Amino acid sequence: MKLLKTVCLLLIASLLLTSCKKEEKKELAVVDNANIYIKGTMDAELTAPPFVPAPVGNRTAKKLLVNMEILEKEGTMADGVQYVYWTFGGSVPGSFIRTRVGDLVEFTLSNHPDNKLPHNIDLHAVNGPGGGAESSFVAPGHKKTFSFKTVNPGLYVYHCATAPVGMHIANGMYGLILVEPEGGLPKVDKEYYIMQGDFYTKGANGDKGLQSFDMGKAIKEDADYVVFNGKVGALTGDNAITANVGETVRLFVGNGGPNLTSSFHVIGEIFDNVHIEGGTTILKDIQTTSIPSGGAAIVDFKVDVPGTFILVDHAIFRAFNKGALGMLKVSGKENKKLYSGIKQEGIYLPEGGTIQTMPDTKKKEVVTKIVEKSLAQKIKDGKQVYMKTCFACHQAEGQGIPNAFPPLAKSDYLNADVKRAIGIVLNGKTGEITVNGKKYNSVMTKQTLTEEEISDVLTYVYNSWGNNKTNVTIEMVKKVK
C-alpha cells in the first residue's frame, strides 16, 4: 500500500514538473519570434480592398519597407452622396499590409501636402507605445519613419490615433496588417480584404450632396451608414467578389468602427475555420462571428454550390437599411445533393392574418425656462463642457495645435467678435481664417450642445487664458441662432 502511495506521489510530481516545462517553452517561443534573424530587405506590396498582397509562403524574415501616404479626398458614400474621406493610401479601408513573424517593418508615413490635418498611425501589431502613434505624428507635407518587429502572428487593425481620435477613425482612417506565422497560412484558392465601418453624416441616410461628419450622432453611436469597404455597394453588383464552385475562399475581415461591433455572416455559407478575433485560436463550423470595433477575424470556407452569397452584418437593419451588405458570386455546376432548389410550389391560405401598424412616435415639445446662472457657476460648468467637447482639438490651455487647430488662448479672432464665436460653435466653421497672425484652413464640426452649454463654454473660454472676460448669456446665443 505504502509503495503504491509513493509511486502515485512521484507520478503527480513528475506530471506537475512537465506541465511547468511546457509553460516555459511557450514563453520562450514569443521571445524567439523577437529574435528571428532577418535576411535581406524588400519593399512591401500594398493593396487596396478587396484585394490582398501575395501570400508570404515560406520566405525568410526580412526588413520590410512599408511606404504609406495619407490622402484626404472626396469620394462616394452612396448614390448621389459625397463624403470627404481621410485615408491611408487613398482607400477605405487603407492599404493591406502583409508580413510574417520576425519581419522588421520599417514604416514611413507621409502626409500629403494638400491635406489639412496632422495624422499618425497606431498598428495593433506593434509592441510599443501607442502602437507607433507616438513616433508617427506627422503634419501635412511631412513624413516620418519608425520601425518595429512583428512578434505575434495574427490579423491586426491599424488606425489613426490623432485627436479627436473618433473623428479620424469615423472618416475612414483604418486598415489591416497581417502577420503570417512561420511557413505562412494554409493555401486557399481566393483571398479577399473586407472591413466594416460606421459613418455619421449631417443629413439622414440617403440625403444627397456632400455630407459632412456629424460629431453629435457619432457620440450617440447613431450611424447613418454602416458599410463594408467605405461605401454602400463597394462589394455588390459588378463590384462583388467572386469564386468558382469547389474553391476555398479566405476573407480577412476587419472592423474599423468607430463604434459598432460587427456580427459578420455570409448568408448561405458556414465558415469552416475562423481565427477568432484575428488570433491563433481556430474555431470550426461557425455561422456568425463577432468582430469588435478595432478587431478582426480570418474566416475561410469552401464554396460548394453556385449562386450569390450575401455578406452582412447580421445586426440586420444595418445590412438592409444602412449599407452593410456585400456579395460573393460563385459560378459553376449545381450540386443537387447539397442543395435542391425549389422542389414544389403551391398556395397556402391560413386563417386570419393581421396588418401591423407602427407605434406612434410624435415628439413631445419640451419647453424650458431661461435661467441665467452666476458668472462663477457658468465658468465652472463651462469648463466641464470644454474638457468634454473642445479640449481634443483646442487643447487643455486653449493653446491649439500648430497648423491644425487655432488657439483660443489670447485669440484676437475670438475676442474681436462674440457673435461670430457663438455662430462657430453653433454651426461649425470651414474656410480660411487668421488667428494671431497665423492662417488656418480646416474644419471645425458643428457642436451639438444646448444653448445653455454654449453660453457656459464660451463664458469659460472668454474668462480664461488672457481673453476679454465676456459673459456670454443664453439670450445672446438665442439671438445668433
Nearest of 195, 192, 194, 123 to residue 154 by alpha carbon: 123
Query: What is the Cα–Cα distance from 293 to 262, expressed in whole angstroms?
Result: 8
DSSP letter at 54? P
By C-beta, is 111 or 411 nearer to ligand HEC? 411
Nearest of 252, 235, 241 to residue 177 by alpha carbon: 252
Q: Position 433: which residue type?
A: I
CA atoms within 13 A of residue 83's CA, in its CB half-sphere? 28
Question: Residues forming the annotated binding site for Cu cation?
Answer: 119, 124, 159-160, 168, 173, 314
Query: What is the Cα–Cα distance from 326 to 442, expressed in whole angstroms?
Result: 34
Cβ(315)–Cβ(288) below 8 Å: no
Interaction of residue 431 with ligand HEC, rule CB under 6 A: yes
| Binding piece for ligand HEC, criterion CB under 6 A, among 106-114, 242-250, 267-275, 433-441 | 433-441
Interaction of residue 84 with ligand HEC, rule CB under 6 A: no
Please state the closest distance from residue 466 (CB atom) to ligand HEC, in A.
13
Q: How far is CA 386 from CA 277, 341, 382, 394, 472, in A?
A: 36, 61, 6, 9, 15
Pick from 62, 394, 459, 476: which binds ligand HEC (CB under 6 A)? 394
Please state the closest distance from residue 75 (CB atom) to Cu ion, in A.
16
3-class secondary-structure state, position 257: strand
Pick from 429, 446, 465, 473: which binds ligand HEC (CB under 6 A)? 429
By C-beta, is 413 or 465 nearer to ligand HEC? 413
Tell me the sheet residues that pair with 257: 197
From ligand HEC, Cu ion, none, which one binds at residue 461 (CB under 5 to 8 Å depending on kind)? Answer: ligand HEC
Question: Residues forming the annotated binding site?
Answer: 119, 124, 159-160, 168, 173, 314
Q: Position 301: which residue type?
A: F
In total, the chain counts a number of residues equal to 481
C-alpha cell, 266: 455570409
- Residues in contact with Cu ion by CB under 5 A are 119, 160, 162, 168, 173
Please state the closest distance from residue 77 (CB atom) to Cu ion, in A.
18
Interaction of residue 408 with ligand HEC, rule CB under 6 A: yes
Interaction of residue 98 with ligand HEC, rule CB under 6 A: no
Interaction of residue 440 with ligand HEC, rule CB under 6 A: yes
Peptide bond connecting 258 to the previous residue in cis, omega within 30 degrees of 0: yes
Q: Position 17: which residue type?
A: L
Interaction of residue 170 with ligand HEC, rule CB under 6 A: no
| Binding piece for ligand HEC, criterion CB under 6 A, among 301-309, 321-329, 344-352, 389-397 | 389-397
3-class secondary-structure state, position 7: helix
From Cu ion, ligand HEC, none, which one binds at residue 218 (CB under 5 to 8 Å depending on kind)? Answer: none
Pick from 161, 223, 379, 457: which binds ligand HEC (CB under 6 A)? 457
By C-beta, is 47 or 470 nearer to ligand HEC? 470
Helix (H) or strand (E) holding 469: none
Cβ(186)–Cβ(417) below 8 Å: no
Query: What is the Cα–Cα distance from 267 to 328, expressed in whole angstroms?
Result: 10
Pick from 104, 165, 267, 392: which binds ligand HEC (CB under 6 A)? 392
Binding map of ligand HEC across residues 242-281, x = CB under 6 A, - = no contact: ----------------------------------------
335-359 per-residue burial string, b: 16 or more CB within 10 A, e: under 16: eeeeeeeeeeeeeeeeeeeeeeeee
Interaction of residue 164 with ligand HEC, rule CB under 6 A: yes
Please state the closest distance from residue 160 (CB atom) to Cu ion, in A.
3
Interaction of residue 389 with ligand HEC, rule CB under 6 A: yes
From Cu ion, ligand HEC, none, which one binds at residue 435 (CB under 5 to 8 Å depending on kind)? Answer: ligand HEC
By C-beta, is 79 or 412 nearer to ligand HEC? 412
Rounded to 10 deg, the angle between the 418-427 and 451-462 helix axes is 130
Cβ(318)–Cβ(287) below 8 Å: no
3-class secondary-structure state, position 367: coil
**Nearest residue to ligand HEC, scored by beta-carbon proximity:** 390
By C-beta, is 164 or 206 nearer to ligand HEC? 164
Please state the closest distance from residue 126 (CB atom) to Cu ion, in A.
17
From Cu ion, ligand HEC, none, which one binds at residue 447 (CB under 5 to 8 Å depending on kind)? Answer: ligand HEC
Interface ranges with ligand HEC (CB under 6 A): 164, 167, 389-390, 392-394, 405-408, 411, 413-414, 421, 424-425, 429-431, 433, 435, 440-445, 447, 457-458, 461
